[in-house]
Structure 1
Amino acid sequence: MTDHDFEADIGEASVFKCGTVAIVGRPNVGKSTLLNHILGTKLAITSRKAQTTRHRLLGIHTTDDTQYLFVDTPGFQQKHLNALNKGLNKTVTQVLSEVDVVLFVIEPMKLGDADRMVLKLLSETTPTILVVNKLDLMGDKGNLLPLIQDFDLEFPFADIVPVSAKKTLNIEELLTTIRKYLPEQPAIYAEDELTDKNERFLAAELVREKVFRFSGDEIPYSVAVEIEKFEQVGKLRRIFCAVIVDKESQKPMLIGKGGEKLKQISTEARMDMEKLFGGKVYLEVWVKVKGGWADDERALKSLGY
Structure 2
Amino acid sequence: MTDEMQEFDPFEGMSDDELDAMADDAAQAEDARPAGEPGFRSGFVALVGRPNAGKSTLMNACMGTKVAITSPVAQTTRRRMLGVVRREGVQIVFVDTPGLHKPQDSLGSELNKSALAEFKDVDVLCFLVDVSKPIGRGDAWVAERVAKASAKRILVLTKADLASSEMVNEQLEAARALCDFDDEIVVSAARGFNVEGFISLVSSYLPDGPQWFPDGVSTDASDEMIVAEFVREALLLRTREEVPHSIGVLCDSMERRRGTLVIHATIYVEREGQKGIIIGKRGEMIKHVGIDARRNLEAIFGCKVFLELDVRVKSHWREDVREIRRLGYAADE
Q: TM-score, normalized by length of structure 2?
A: 0.84
Partner amino acid for 1:222?
S
> Which consecutive unaligned segments of at least 5 residues does structure 1 have?
1-13
8 A Cα contact 1:55 1:74, kept in partner: yes
**Residue 16 in structure 1 maps to residue 36 in structure 2:** no
Map of 2:6 onto structure 1: none
**Residue 220 in structure 1 maps to residue 244 in structure 2:** yes
Alpha-carbon offset, residue 260 of structure 1: 0.7
1-structure distance, mates of 2:214, 2:64: 17
**Residue 99 in structure 1 maps to residue 122 in structure 2:** yes
Partner amino acid for 1:125?
S
Matches within 5 A, 1:178-257: 178-233=202-257, 235-257=259-281
Map of 1:54 onto structure 2: 78
Deviation digits for residues 31-54 of structure 1, max 9, x if unmatched?
111111111111100110101000
1-structure distance, mates of 2:319, 2:198: 39
Map of 1:160 onto structure 2: 184
**Residue 283 in structure 1 maps to residue 322 in structure 2:** no
Map of 1:86 onto structure 2: 109
Map of 2:22 onto structure 1: none
Partner amino acid for 1:71?
V
Partner amino acid for 1:97?
K
Alpha-carbon offset, residue 124 of structure 1: 5.1
**Residue 136 in structure 1 maps to residue 132 in structure 2:** no
Which is further off, 144-153 or 289-298?
144-153
2-structure distance, mates of 1:161, 1:234: 49
8 A Cα contact 2:161 2:188, kept in partner: yes
**Residue 31 in structure 1 maps to residue 52 in structure 2:** no
| SS of alignment partner, residue 328 of structure 2 | coil
8 A Cα contact 2:189 2:195, kept in partner: yes
Alpha-carbon offset, residue 171 of structure 1: 0.7
Map of 1:11 onto structure 2: none
> Which consecutive unaligned segments of at least 5 residues does structure 2 have?
1-37
Partner amino acid for 2:265?
C
Map of 1:148 onto structure 2: 172
| SS of alignment partner, residue 249 of structure 1 | helix
8 A Cα contact 2:228 2:251, kept in partner: yes
8 A Cα contact 2:144 2:179, kept in partner: no
8 A Cα contact 1:129 1:160, kept in partner: yes
8 A Cα contact 2:144 2:178, kept in partner: no
Alpha-carbon offset, residue 106 of structure 1: 0.7
Deviation digits for residues 151-197 of structure 1, max 9, x if unmatched?
22221111110000100100111111101111101211112211011
Map of 1:67 onto structure 2: 91
Alpha-carbon offset, residue 259 of structure 1: 0.7
Partner amino acid for 1:104?
F
1-structure distance, mates of 2:172, 2:273: 46
Map of 2:34 onto structure 1: none
Aligned sequence identity (%): 37
Map of 1:114 onto structure 2: 138
Which is further off, 185-194 or 268-277?
185-194
Cα distance change of structure 1 residues 278 and 16 upon mapping to structure 2, 3 Å threshold: same
| SS of alignment partner, residue 120 of structure 1 | helix
Deviation digits for residues 192-247 of structure 1, max 9, x if unmatched?
21101111110110000111110112111111001111112354210001110001
Deviation digits for residues 109-147 of structure 1, max 9, x if unmatched?
4321121121122125321111111111123x1332232
8 A Cα contact 2:103 2:109, kept in partner: no
Q: TM-score, normalized by length of structure 1?
A: 0.92
Map of 2:21 onto structure 1: none
